[in-house]
Structure 1
């Protein structure tokens, strides 16, 4: 028992320290994804430690308690225990709008389950990621209800499709760091006269099976942050970030973009992996500007993908400035860091095939 206890203590310490090392290699970035699981395991091993008889046990127990407090201090911000003010819709607000963001998993052939999900929730806008030519054909049945579309059909698991009932004044595709990693920018105007910008993103993850480093992911996300920073219209950035909200690069994204993380004071909204609840990470993220107010943010039922879809209900209110206090701006050092990361992302050579087949 003592030996097992020691192995876990050392492993938990390593997984806690690795993300603090300023390296873009996946070994140092991946442990950030498991912060929730690391925190729970730390608590379990800490309780387990009370049943071990050793004269050194209290040194290790103190270390575990420190690790637990360290992770807990970050994670509590993404729970309802962290109190923030809720905002009510008023006569000055727009009507409520809804969207669904879903990584459909390119090799998921159960198209009807997703189509039925869209028909069930009737979002005003929905975004698909990993959608290829087969998915595009399958989703044609929805085009009558969603007359505004912007399609980026790729077979490399980075295809994206955007569908809207709301009028789209302009839509474009960006390739910020590589010519096979698209982002979609759409300018929308609601029937009650409110305009906003919808950005869909899906950068590649740092992992042993995909990209060796986080350079392209971070460069792509910070390019989006830099672009939306000076927009006067309300902005929503949503998608499979392949990142967690508390990572260094996500914090830098939030500060660079001047956007707000709606998970703070609300919930983790974990999405991946859809099949394994205990090993689920919140990597499908959303950020918004201060005049967008979130009513609901939640995951929906699994439709056969490895990601759960994200559902959001929001309204726009230009007369309410109470969210200004949640906006953090990057300082000069952080701005310089963001620029450096963007340039590194552009220089990085990704290792993606033009057409990807399922293993």
Structure 2
């Protein structure tokens, strides 16, 4: 028992230290994804420690486990209702409430009808699909009368994206910030009650043993989006499969560089992947918004056959309410320089992806 306790404690220590090392290889970045699970396991091992036979080093390792639990807990508590943030009510100057759904549909998922039923049930004004290829585009044609405004980037490499809207899209464009096969969507919309805003859809590649060896393209793509957001003088929403977690260094740098707000703070993790394994679920489908956009509801919806749960958001716009300004953090000069360096590294990285990806 002591050997197992010792081995697990040392493994937890390694997983805690690795993300603090400034290296973009997936080995160093991946433990951040499992911070929630690492925290729970740390607490379980700490409690189980009292059941094993004690030796001279017992209290040192118990103290180490307690310190790791406090370290992780201090970070994660910000993403729970225990961390209090002010709630905002709609005022007479605000827009009406709008809704969107963001979903990584999983390119090889054939449950098209389940997703279409999800849209028809929740009736969002907008929805974004990721990993949507030609088959998905064809299946979603039944919704085009109800969602007459569209922006489509049809790819077969698991990075296709489609944006559908009931709200008028005044203009839109596709960005390929760091690679010519990794798109982002920028759509400028105007509501019937006269409110303009910009919707960004993003889906950078993950650092993992099966995809990209490093996080350079992911981080470069996200920070390029953050830089573009700073050029826009309208309310902004950025949403999608970030393949990142909100507490990672690159997510924090994205938030500071873009001057956007993370709605998970004071709310919940909103974990989305993997849809089939609740205990191994990570919050990697993220959302950020500008200070004049107010979130009323942010949650996951039911599984429709994908490996990601869809994200549902309800929001309103209010240009007269400045009470969220205090939640906006700005990057320092050093952080801005770091962001520029990461963007350049992302552009130089040669991601090895097939133009057409088939299911194994």
Q: TM-score range by the shorter chain?
A: over 0.9
**Residues in 1 aligned to 2:278 and 2:214: alpha-carbon distance in whole angstroms:** 27
**Residues in 1 aligned to 2:266 and 2:55: alpha-carbon distance in whole angstroms:** 40
Q: Within 5 A, what are the aligned runs for 1:205-244?
A: 205-244=206-245
TM (normalized to structure 1)? 1.00
Paired position in structure 1 for 2:332: 331
Matched, 1:90 2:91: yes
Q: Within 5 A, what are the aligned runs for 1:58-207?
A: 58-207=59-208
1:170 deviates by 0.4
**Residues in 1 aligned to 2:31 and 2:191: alpha-carbon distance in whole angstroms:** 41
Q: Within 5 A, what are the aligned runs for 1:13-32?
A: 13-32=13-32
Displaced runs of 4 or more, over 4 A: none
Secondary structure of 1:75's aligned partner: helix
**Can you list the C-alpha shifts for 1:126-147, whole angstroms capped at 9, x where unaligned?**
0000000000000000000000
Secondary structure of 2:270's aligned partner: coil
Secondary structure of 1:139's aligned partner: helix
Q: Which moved more, 1:48-57 or 1:175-184?
A: 48-57
**Residues in 2 aligned to 1:54 and 1:159: alpha-carbon distance in whole angstroms:** 57
TM (normalized to structure 2)? 0.99
| Structure 2: stretches of 5+ with no match in the other structure | none
1:74 deviates by 0.3
Secondary structure of 1:196's aligned partner: strand
**Residues in 1 aligned to 2:289 and 2:27: alpha-carbon distance in whole angstroms:** 30
**Residues in 2 aligned to 1:357 and 1:121: alpha-carbon distance in whole angstroms:** 31
Give the alignment's Cα RMSD to 1 decimal: 0.4
1:231 deviates by 1.7
**Residues in 2 aligned to 1:60 and 1:89: alpha-carbon distance in whole angstroms:** 51
1:230 deviates by 3.3
Paired position in structure 2 for 1:357: 358
**Residues in 2 aligned to 1:231 and 1:75: alpha-carbon distance in whole angstroms:** 31
1:90 deviates by 1.1
Paired position in structure 2 for 1:43: 43
**Can you list the C-alpha shifts for 1:68-123, whole angstroms capped at 9, x where unaligned?**
00000000000000001000011111000000000000000010000000000000
**Residues in 2 aligned to 1:291 and 1:171: alpha-carbon distance in whole angstroms:** 21
1:55 deviates by 2.2
Secondary structure of 1:238's aligned partner: strand
Paired position in structure 2 for 1:314: 315
Matched, 1:300 2:301: yes
**Residues in 1 aligned to 2:57 and 2:151: alpha-carbon distance in whole angstroms:** 62
Q: Within 5 A, what are the aligned runs for 1:264-275?
A: 264-275=265-276
**Residues in 2 aligned to 1:2 and 1:254: alpha-carbon distance in whole angstroms:** 43
Paired position in structure 1 for 2:252: 251
Matched, 1:277 2:278: yes
Q: Which moved more, 1:35-44 or 1:227-236?
A: 227-236
**Residues in 2 aligned to 1:134 and 1:231: alpha-carbon distance in whole angstroms:** 34
**Can you list the C-alpha shifts for 1:36-70, whole angstroms capped at 9, x where unaligned?**
00000000000001112222110000000000000
**Residues in 1 aligned to 2:58 and 2:139: alpha-carbon distance in whole angstroms:** 59
**Residues in 2 aligned to 1:181 and 1:154: alpha-carbon distance in whole angstroms:** 9
Secondary structure of 1:320's aligned partner: coil
Secondary structure of 1:29's aligned partner: helix
**Can you list the C-alpha shifts for 1:123-176, whole angstroms capped at 9, x where unaligned?**
000000000000000000000000000000000000000000000000100000
Secondary structure of 2:287's aligned partner: strand
**Residues in 1 aligned to 2:139 and 2:55: alpha-carbon distance in whole angstroms:** 62
